[in-house]
Amino acid sequence: MELVRSLETAERLLGPEPLRPGVVVLRSHRPGDLGWIVERHGALYAQEYAWDERFEALVASVVADFGRAHDPRREACWIAERDGERLGSVMLVREAKDETRARLRLLLVEPAARGAGLGKLLVETCLTFARSAGYGSVVLWTQSVLLAARDIYARLGFRKVSEEPHAGYGKPLVSETWELVL
């Protein structure tokens, strides 16, 4: 029994460091961050879901569009970092076909930072910005297998409005569109 307690203590001490309030900073993107977003999405989704390079290419396209022509009054990218280490990211952009609607894009939380509320904080930051920019709603596109992200969206009031099977990224998937009226 003492050995079990010792092992549990060691596991707790050696496990990922929990996020501490006041230590994680959300900041605007800067040079190097957009490339990091593409690289981390490509690497993590390949590792965790066996998605192929088509997903990384989609991310690169979204990031390139943002980098070329975003309107800082209505669109933003946030990087979460602790002690200079990037832990996550998210973007909010104007919906191309509707000036009153924003689109949440590219939510990512590094594995070592998961489970401490960072994903929720990133999404809440987008929603606060969307309200201040005058949007009436926020939409997003995700995949049914992304359970943690879907849980965040549901807890923050988003509702799934459609789903569709597709064969993207080398795996059969079900894409979902979610919306939150602000």
The continuous run of DSSP H or E covering 45 comes out as helix 33-49
The continuous run of DSSP H or E covering 165 comes out as strand 159-166
Instruction: Answer whether residue 16 is part of any domain.
Output: no
| Lowest-pLDDT choice from 28-32, 61-65, 107-111, 168-172 | 168-172
List of residues 6+ apart from 149 with CB closer than 8 A: 107, 119, 142
C-beta separation of 101 from 139 below 8 A: yes
> Parallel, antiparallel, or unpaired: how do β-strands 137-143 and 101-109 relate?
parallel
Instruction: Answer whether residue 108 is part of any domain.
Output: yes
- The enclosing domain of 66 has a CATH number of 3.40.630.30
pLDDT per residue as tens digits for the range 94-110: 998 888 999 999 999 99
pLDDT per residue as tens digits for the range 120-153: 999 999 999 999 999 999 999 999 999 999 999 9
Q: How far apart are CA 115 and CA 1, in angstroms?
A: 29
Neighbours of 123 (CB within 10 A): 23
Instruction: Answer whether residue 93 is part of any domain.
Output: yes
For residue 17, pLDDT over 70 is answered with: no
Give residue 141's domain range.
22-181
List of residues 6+ apart from 16 with CB closer than 8 A: 112, 113
- Cα-flanking dihedrals φ and ψ of residue 103, to 5°? -125, 125
Instruction: Answer whether residue 177 is part of any domain.
Output: yes
Per the listing, tokens 């939409």 go with 139
Please tell me which residue, 6 or 171, carries the higher pLDDT value.
Answer: 171
Q: Domain count for the chain, please give it.
A: 1
Instruction: Answer whether residue 9 is part of any domain.
Output: no
pLDDT per residue as tens digits for the range 48-90: 999 999 999 999 999 999 999 999 999 999 999 999 999 999 9
Instruction: Answer whether residue 27 is part of any domain.
Output: yes
Please tell me which residue, 124 or 23, carries the higher pLDDT value.
Answer: 124
Bridge-partner residues for 175, per DSSP?
A: 143, 164
Q: What is the average pLDDT across 29-49?
A: 96
Instruction: Answer whether residue 55 is part of any domain.
Output: yes
Instruction: Answer whether residue 141 is part of any domain.
Output: yes
The continuous run of DSSP H or E covering 25 comes out as strand 24-28
